[in-house]
Chain A
Amino acid sequence: MDVALNWYLALSAVLFTIGTLGVLFRRNAIVVLMSVELMLNAVNLTLVAFSQSLGDPSGQMLVFFSIAVAAAEAAVGLAIVIAIFRSKVTVDITEINLFKH
Chain B
Amino acid sequence: MAAPSMFFLLATVAVAAALGMLIARNPVASALWLVLNLFCIAGLYLTLNASFIGVIQILIYAGAIMVLFLFVIMLLNLSALPELRSLDWARIGGFAVGLVLLSQLLYVVALQFDLGAEPVGAGTAAEVGSAATLGEILFTRYALHIQVAGILLLAATVGAVMLAQRRFE
B1-38 near A? 1/0 per residue, CB < 8 Å: 11110010001001100110110000100110010011
A52 touches B128 (CB 8 A): yes
B76 touches A65 (CB 8 A): no
B160 touches A76 (CB 8 A): yes
A54 touches B14 (CB 8 A): no
A91 touches B76 (CB 8 A): yes
Name the prevailing secondary structure of the A interface residues: helix
CA distance A92 to B69 in the complex (A): 16
CA distance A9 to B107 in the complex (A): 11
B15 touches A11 (CB 8 A): yes
Name the prevailing secondary structure of the B interface residues: helix
CA distance A7 to B72 in the complex (A): 35
Q: How many A-B residue pairs have CB under 8 A?
A: 225
Given A72-B152, A76-B160, A57 and B65 contact (CB-CB distance below 8 Å): no
Name the CB-closest residue of B to A56.
B128
Given A64-B56, A75-B68, A86-B168, A55 and B7 contact (CB-CB distance below 8 Å): no
Contacts of A27 in B (CB 8 A): 81, 83
A10 touches B109 (CB 8 A): yes
Tell me the A46-101 residues at the B interface (CB within 8 Å).
48-49, 51-58, 60-61, 63-65, 67-76, 78-87, 91-92
A60 touches B19 (CB 8 A): no
Name the CB-closest residue of A to B34.
A34
Given A24-B94, A79-B159, A5 and B119 contact (CB-CB distance below 8 Å): yes
* Selected contact of B1 from candidates A3, A41, A71, CB within 8 Å: A3
Name the CB-closest residue of A to B73.
A30
Chain A proximity of B34: nearest CB distance (Å): 5
Contacts beyond the supplied A61-B138, A83-B163: 16 A-B pairs with Cβ under 8 Å:
A2-B119, A6-B110, A7-B7, A11-B11, A13-B102, A13-B109, A17-B101, A17-B102, A38-B37, A53-B120, A60-B52, A68-B153, A70-B65, A71-B156, A72-B152, A75-B156
